Amino acid sequence: MTIDELKNIITDAGCVGAGGAGFPSAVKLAEGADTLVINAAECEPLLYSDYALMKQHLADVAAGAEYVIEATGIRHGYLGVKEHTAHRLGLMDGEAISSHVTVKLLPDVYPMGDEIILIYQALGRIVPPGQLPISVGVIVFNCETLYNICLAVRDRQTVTQKWVTVGGAVRQPFVTVVPIGTPVKDMMQKFGFSVPEDHVMIDGGPAMGPIINPDTAVITKTTKALLILPTTIPAITSKLAVNRTVNTHATANCCQCRLCTDMCPRALIGYPLEPHKIVRNAKSMFEEYPEQFIESAVCCGCGICELTACCQQISPRRVYQQVKEILAKKRLRYQHKGEIKVDPEREYRMLPSERFKQRIGVAKYDTGVPEMRFEAYSPTRILLPLRQHVGTPAQPMVHVGDYVTAGQLVAEATGLISANIHTSISGRVQDVTSSHIVIAV
Ligand code: SF4
Ligand code: SF4
């Protein structure tokens, strides 16, 4: 299969980064790569979706990797997986899982799923700040993305299902597979969980995932987890603070100890981040002169600076986030000049996941491998957002009243970076707007 043939198949199937980023998968395929890294690091605490998928379908993940390797001419692939996950899966470092893919064990530190950190840890290569992994000859795909690529190539299946962990303050955490577009409320009824008072629901990991409204949210191609967590733990209190309070607190209370910079995982591999300096400018400087803080663009938002390093609950991450939004609006991009030097003390400053879990207040919710609940489930109504990916929204191809069958294309990719969307149930189209399509049985 040629690279263009593979691109066409996965574009038709609507494959996007299933790890949370939602980058259209075909856009990542490029000539010139020599290595594929499968991101199965399961970056944040409480997430088990990748583990569950690999437990059931590791051979299909490897088959998806082989399709990519064959089409791109890549020489070798690595399954990047943390030691404890590999142990549970019965995998050993260096073990072959297919003709061109071997296991690469990763230490259990946070944020190992950040692809820049993953590439450095697995291969010793540093992606220059502001550039993509292909600049160092690497393509990274999440393991669920490769599973979807396998289904697209081998079975001509479109992307309509999502592997989701439900965890946190629930009676029994579990992993399940649900149709994309399922209303979260519907899922809560079906699987019997709720959001108690003084708790919130997070889409994704506890540190990086946003708070969502369970009454209106739906499962999308990038939903990795639904976590129910109390509003009193550090992981959540930091999300609830408004920018003005974050900025005032930062400028008034920072003692410039620079621990946030010393622990920043990207600074440790030589990225030009100095969070202790950005907090000095948290009041207004960056609004007037965002170009002076352009290195903010390379912060991955992991939150170590705020949730672990700072003893004063100051959030350099939130300040960087505000600058990033301004830079994006002004279309200002960071371009790196000069050498990149890894901190010689990096190995000793990496943050063990166990410690991170304790610091952010979620350790008590990690009770080990959750239940696997793969019972057949199909909602009677779905809502498909037209933007479940990075890039331009898909364009609806159906009208109110049309009958559609499960797997059918209902919205088409537009532009260079976009993705097709398919219905996960058979039924009649009830609503089509510029932001979503509703289908009911
Ligand atoms: S969130 Fe903080 S620790 Fe993480 S990359 Fe950004 S500055 Fe560094
Ligand atoms: S760790 Fe906190 S107090 Fe220390 S420099 Fe960073 S923001 Fe300031």
| pLDDT given for residue 339 in this prediction | 87
| pLDDT given for residue 415 in this prediction | 81
| pLDDT given for residue 293 in this prediction | 87
Nearest residue CA, atom 1 of ligand 2? 310
Ligand 1 atom closest to 302 (CA): 4
CA of 349 to the centre of ligand 2 (A): 16
Nearest residue CA, atom 2 of ligand 1? 305
Q: Which two tokens stand for residue 322?
A: 């505000």
CA of 277 to the centre of ligand 2 (A): 9
Among residues 334, 242, 319, 256, the alpha carbon closest in space to that of 284 is found at: 319
Q: Kindly report whether the global pTM for this prediction surpasses the value 0.75.
A: yes
Among residues 369, 351, 339, 365, the alpha carbon closest in space to that of 304 is found at: 351
CA of 325 to the centre of ligand 1 (A): 15
Q: Is the beta carbon of 260 within 6 A of some atom in ligand 2? A: yes
Tens-place pLDDT, residues 425-437? 999 999 999 999 9
**Positive/negative CA dihedral, 378, 208, 144, 153:** positive
168: β partners: 228
Residues 45/359, Cβ–Cβ less than 8 Å: no
The bound ligand whose nearest atom lies closest to the alpha carbon of 276 is: 2
| pLDDT given for residue 404 in this prediction | 98
Residues 165/370, Cβ–Cβ less than 8 Å: yes
Ligand 1 atom closest to 114 (CA): 5
Containing 102, the helix (H) or strand (E) segment is strand 101-106
CA distances from 94 to 98, 117, 131, 154, 363 (A): 12, 20, 29, 27, 31
Residues 109/15, Cβ–Cβ less than 8 Å: no
Nearest residue CA, atom 4 of ligand 2? 257
Q: Is the beta carbon of 264 within 6 A of some atom in ligand 2? A: no
Ranges of the chain whose pLDDT falls below 50: none
**Positive/negative CA dihedral, 85, 359, 319, 246:** positive
CA of 264 to the centre of ligand 1 (A): 5
| pLDDT given for residue 331 in this prediction | 87
Q: Which two tokens stand for residue 105?
A: 């064990």
- Rounded Cα distance between 434 and 338, Å, is 44
| pLDDT given for residue 20 in this prediction | 80
- Rounded Cα distance between 145 and 68, Å, is 11
Ligand 2 atom closest to 256 (CA): 5
- Radius of gyration from C-alpha coordinates of the chain: 21
CA of 260 to the centre of ligand 2 (A): 6
- Amino acid code (one letter) for 65: A
DSSP code string of 359-411:
HHT-GGG--SS-EEE------SEEEEES--SSSSPPEE---TT-EE-TT-EEE
Tens-place pLDDT, residues 321-368? 999 999 988 888 888 888 899 999 999 999 999 999 999 999 999 988
CA of 400 to the centre of ligand 2 (A): 54
β-strands 35-40, 76-82 pairing: parallel
Q: Which residues contact 380 (CB under 8 A, 6 or more apart)?
A: 425, 427, 440, 441
Domains annotated for the chain, with CATH where assigned, are 3-155 (3.40.50.11540), 162-233+362-378 (3.10.20.600), 242-360 (no CATH), 380-441 (2.40.50)
